Amino acid sequence: MNPLYDRLFGRHAARDAPFLHLPDGRVISHRDFGHMAGRMANALTAGGLVPGDRVAAQIDKSPEALALYAACARAGLVFLPLNTAYTADEVGYFVTDSGARLFVCDPGRSGEMAEVAKAAGATLATLSGDGRGSLAEDAASAPSEFATVARAGGDLAAFLYTSGTTGRSKGAMLSQDNLLSNAETLAAAWHFTEGDVLLHALPIFHTHGLFVATNVTLVAGGAMIFLPKFDLGEMIAQMPRATAMMGVPTFYTRLLDDAGFDRDLVAHMRLFVSGSAPLLAETHRAFTERTGHRILERYGMTETNMNTSNPYEGERRAGTVGQPLPGVELRIMEGGTEVGPGETGTIEVRGPNVFQGYWNMPEKTAEELRPDGWFITGDLGTQSEDGYVTIVGRGKDLIISGGFNIYPKEIELLLDDQPGVLESAVVGVPHPDFGESPVAVLVPAPGAAPDFDAIRAAVKDGLARFKHPARYEVVDELPRNTMGKVQKNVLRDRYAGAFG
Ligand code: AMP
């Protein structure tokens, strides 16, 4: 028995129905994909890998990259995908820290990565986005039959390193059950079936594109239009063939920027899901106005997979991330006790989705994962009487000014509504008198400029004095990472000297 392989990858592997539609017109069926995974698993084990070994991979998005993930599950190996933007130095840390026995990189980087692999004591193999490289060659000559290695649900299936905006990135250890339980829960919650075709433009080194989008499709036995990255023209061209899309908020704002994105284009769609970063309530409303669809926002993280979701049927409440998923418990804590509806605190979650701890970091694990299974997410939020959760920000983004707590989100929501403002980010920077003071960074609406008279008036009326931004900055765009998250650490550094 190997729950993850059997119930996720193996469930539909005997069917000839399409699994991947590629931009060049190729179609890979569920059966073909099963064979690719079998060949890849043979190639991996022929190289001497044994269950529990880690396989690190910094490779472009491709069917072969997904087959590597499936092959690891099938052979009982721990899959460790890495952001393709990482430099050789950064990759060196992950490969060494994880103790990976095999490191798979793009053939174009094999020169610099040979050093990395050597220093880490890992074997190097290559795999390109168009399916070439040493691992592809080994797989091509291997049989497609593979005796799936027995695993238990508690065995590790993947390491995902957190983005590490503060301190060293940590390797979140995810078990077979962590991945499987969440995939099955989400597929049911979002009504995924064999008839679904998911428009997939997310990276597959992150939980969103790999575990949410791909696993849900696999469990349901549906198909994906598998695009290498987000390209507006390609998204518009492919949309009429899809039934569902998952994206980060920037996908939605970019689609809305295109006049060709309209009701007719999405007539065939049944679901749009957003997550990984906050979706502005305004984007939610603009999307509904344009398309008639209500975006379904959900909330999760590397360590926990998905925790909450707006309902498939029922109210998808703009500005909230919905209610806890079936089987997931959620509570809001402040000063060691659970707070009531509407009160702000740190979000904690518990359930089969919650990871097994940080690799080689028992102290960090103990700080964030309580012995009774509650995980301290580090996100601040509130929960309404009827269970909807609103994220107020990351705990580390909280501003403490003159001893008062300031939640940046409260200021940002007010600023976003002002004339001439597209969006905003508020960060705390050192201040000689107050400890910290809020700096508001504004992005103007297209062709407009922030109306500072209106902004000052709204701030004066709407916010207590200590929350007023001590300074405003106007920028063309906010710094974001590949998942569309605003990098507040970059803004804090940029304006660190603002108050001398
Ligand atoms: P990552 O581990 O890279 O997936 O980042 C997880 C973090 O992204 C969470 O802890 C939240 O701070 C944030 N996040 C994810 N989904 C949402 C959402 N729908 N709204 C607001 N923040 C989100």
Q: In the predicted model, is pLDDT for residue 165 greater than 70?
A: no
Q: What are phi and psi of 328, to 5 degrees?
A: -105, 125
Q: In the predicted model, is pLDDT for residue 217 greater than 60?
A: yes
pLDDT for 115 equals 96
Average pLDDT over residues 254-268: 95
CA proximity to 235, closest of 246, 227, 244: 227
Confidence of residue 87 (pLDDT cuts 50, 70, 90): confident
Average pLDDT over residues 293-306: 97
Q: Would you tell me the crossing angle of helices 408-416 and 452-462 to the nearest 10 degrees?
A: 130
Q: What are phi and psi of 235, to 5 degrees?
A: -60, -45
Average pLDDT over residues 440-447: 96
Is the CB of 321 inside a 6 Å radius of any atom of ligand 1?
yes
Is the CB of 275 inside a 6 Å radius of any atom of ligand 1?
yes
Confidence of residue 375 (pLDDT cuts 50, 70, 90): very high
Angle among Cα 423, 426, 429 to the nearest 5 degrees reads 150
Angle among Cα 358, 40, 56 to the nearest 5 degrees reads 25
Confidence of residue 167 (pLDDT cuts 50, 70, 90): low
Confidence of residue 100 (pLDDT cuts 50, 70, 90): very high
Is the CB of 10 inside a 6 Å radius of any atom of ligand 1?
no
Average pLDDT over residues 19-42: 98
CB atoms within 10 A of CB 51: 15
Q: In the predicted model, is pLDDT for residue 168 greater than 80?
A: no
Residue bearing the bigger pLDDT, 167 or 433: 433
Q: Which two tokens stand for residue 401?
A: 């000014």
CA proximity to 299, closest of 317, 275, 279: 275
Confidence of residue 395 (pLDDT cuts 50, 70, 90): confident
pLDDT for 396 equals 84
pLDDT for 108 equals 97
pLDDT for 386 equals 98
Q: In the predicted model, is pLDDT for residue 358 greater than 60?
A: yes
Length of the chain: 500
Average pLDDT value for the chain:
95
Is the CB of 184 inside a 6 Å radius of any atom of ligand 1?
no
CB atoms within 10 A of CB 298: 22
Average pLDDT over residues 336-363: 97
Query: The domain 398-494: what is its CATH number?
Result: 3.30.300.30
Pocket test for ligand 1, best of 379, 396, 412 (most atoms within 8 A of CB): 379
Is the CB of 297 inside a 6 Å radius of any atom of ligand 1?
yes
Confidence of residue 164 (pLDDT cuts 50, 70, 90): low
CA proximity to 204, closest of 214, 189, 194, 191: 214
Q: In the predicted model, is pLDDT for residue 353 greater than 60?
A: yes
Q: In the predicted model, is pLDDT for residue 163 greater than 80?
A: no
Q: In the predicted model, is pLDDT for residue 272 greater than 80?
A: yes
Atom 10 of ligand 1 has which residue's CA nearest to it?
301
**Ligand 1 mean position, distance from CA 303 (Å):** 11
pLDDT for 405 equals 84
Lowest mean pLDDT among 39-53, 81-95, 217-231, 296-310: 81-95
Could you tell me how many helices (H) and strands (E) the chain has, helices first?
Answer: 16, 25
Average pLDDT over residues 70-88: 95
Q: Three-class SS of residue 424? A: strand
Whether 59 contacts 127, CB under 8 Å: yes
**Ligand 1 mean position, distance from CA 329 (Å):** 17
Q: Where are the domains of the chain?
A: 3-189, 398-494
pLDDT for 260 equals 93
Percentage above 90 pLDDT, the chain: 89
**Ligand 1 mean position, distance from CA 391 (Å):** 9
Is the CB of 76 inside a 6 Å radius of any atom of ligand 1?
no
Is the CB of 276 inside a 6 Å radius of any atom of ligand 1?
yes
One-letter amino acid for residue 237 of the chain:
A
**Ligand 1 mean position, distance from CA 289 (Å):** 26
Confidence of residue 166 (pLDDT cuts 50, 70, 90): low
Is the CB of 483 inside a 6 Å radius of any atom of ligand 1?
yes
Average pLDDT over residues 410-438: 92
pLDDT for 464 equals 87
Question: Tens digits of per-residue pLDDT, 109-158?
Answer: 999 999 999 999 999 999 999 999 999 999 999 999 999 999 999 999 99
Average pLDDT over residues 79-83: 96
Is the CB of 458 inside a 6 Å radius of any atom of ligand 1?
no
CATH superfamily, domain at 3-189: ANL, N-terminal domain (3.40.50.12780)
Average pLDDT over residues 232-248: 97
